[in-house]
A and B are shown apart, each in its own frame.
Chain A
């Protein structure tokens, strides 16, 4: 009996905690559909309106939709680059059996770099990019994001690559597969899950990036997170726009959560525990 009550109490605690996590998110999502008066009165029930989102998408210059495209281009291009480098590097390391002794050193360096706050890098990049004219270009944002995410991505993908048995690659070599065939038909299928997990996390981190975009972009290349802060100046906050843009900015993350939850969990756990 005591065990039962304890169990029920435990369930209630967990449920309450889940509610505590989700309610603020629901609150901002609902605010996106509120009229100004409902926001100012903090009404819980209200008549939903699409006006905020429409206004955000179809009016204003440079316009939120251009921010959205900037974010999308940077995130997709940088993720693609990161994954290309990672897949090749992970393959090279596992094929050359270097992982066992080169691994710890390399991964240590990667870990070290992923621990350094991005803000300590951006200043330096800002000066460098200014000298070569990359400030306020999407190319500059892509390069900086790639550099920022590579250590973590390398770490994740080499960890996953360790699960690919080297014997299979050797067997393929004996059977006469070329290096590119081994990569394409043996390594990639086996490492697919791990690389997907890495790619999803990298994409999310780049999409979410604020520090780099804040410092290296201006009007035309603004990405969503920086645009959102524009709605939240200290003196006057445009809550409706802030909430609506936050909702739209969260969509990729939420979609990935629905279709790729198991990859995200895998990536986070491997990233932290191995």
Chain B
């Protein structure tokens, strides 16, 4: 356990230290120079990071909301079904367990302007081809759609498991008392499912900050900065621009943003539970 803690803690300390330093190459060796708050100044003036943060927030909000709505709807549909369920779950697990980089490859192929099956189908229907990943106005939407495709099955599985652990007696009692299906849904299902929904939300919001592989393969943040997300900005700052110090500050700030969003959602859950 100690070893683990070391492996987790050392990088954090290292990040903290580096955020006050600049790394320079001198005679083939790395030299660390203390620069105080200079990295923080560069960071707050970095135009791309803030665009990336905004994109990430938009991405997380829209994608997670869609996943929740679609996943919940499907879970409600499936919760009464018995036949074919193992096959269904097997199919839905596929996007979850495939390497994310392959999800990217799949959609590169499907969304391609010239030879993607989507545009070819549109063409066959007499509709104009759309440059899904190349048009700055569409690219973020396309990436969101891919994420919804990728993670809705996960949301669905969580919510389905939640639905099936609900007590049947309460529904029988409600039906006896003459509650309509909508009333049952509104006053039984939603409140009982609230904790599950919130946990799913926390998971998906936090994990959508992690999105990197798919973006790397699909758009590399482009065109322009239309699909720039924080992970990609950090990656580029650190590894392409060799600004390790600024990259460290970005990392720290991003972790803080994630922690804050998680805390906000968890508090929402508490408040609802208290009410």
Interface residues of A, Cβ cutoff 8 Å to B: 7, 10-11, 13-14, 17-18, 20-22, 24-25, 27-28, 31, 39-42, 85, 89, 112-113, 115-128, 130-131, 143, 146-147, 150-151, 154, 204, 207-208, 210-211, 214-215, 224-225, 228-229, 232, 234, 237, 239, 242-243, 246, 249-250, 253-254, 256-257, 261, 264-265, 268-269, 272-273
Contact = CB atoms under 8 A, between A and B. Distances in A.
A117 B104 CA distance: 18
Contacts, number: 217
A130 B100 contact: no
Given A85-B4, A234-B220, A117 B91 contact: no
A195 B78 CA distance: 29
Contacts of A143: 7
A143 B7 CA distance: 9
B106 A24 contact: yes
A255 to B, nearest CB: 11
A42 B88 contact: no
A21 B70 CA distance: 13
Given A21-B149, A123-B239, A154-B4, 10 more contacts: A18-B92, A20-B149, A115-B207, A115-B258, A118-B210, A119-B235, A120-B255, A122-B238, A123-B244, A126-B239
A131 B23 CA distance: 13
A101 B80 CA distance: 39
A29 B255 CA distance: 37
Interface stretch (B35-43, B59-67, B156-164, B171-179): B156-164
A106 to B, nearest CB: 8
B74 A17 contact: yes
B89 A261 contact: yes
Interface in B72-101: 74, 77-78, 80-81, 86, 88-101
B91 A18 contact: yes
Contacts of A237: 108, 112
Contacts of A128: 10-11, 14
B50 interface: no
B30 to A, nearest CB: 7
15 contacts: A10-B77, A21-B149, A22-B94, A25-B106, A42-B117, A117-B230, A123-B234, A123-B239, A123-B247, A150-B4, A210-B100, A250-B98, A253-B97, A253-B99, A268-B154
Given A115-B206, A119-B235, A123-B234, A272 B212 contact: no
Contacts of B102: 28, 225, 228, 246, 249-250
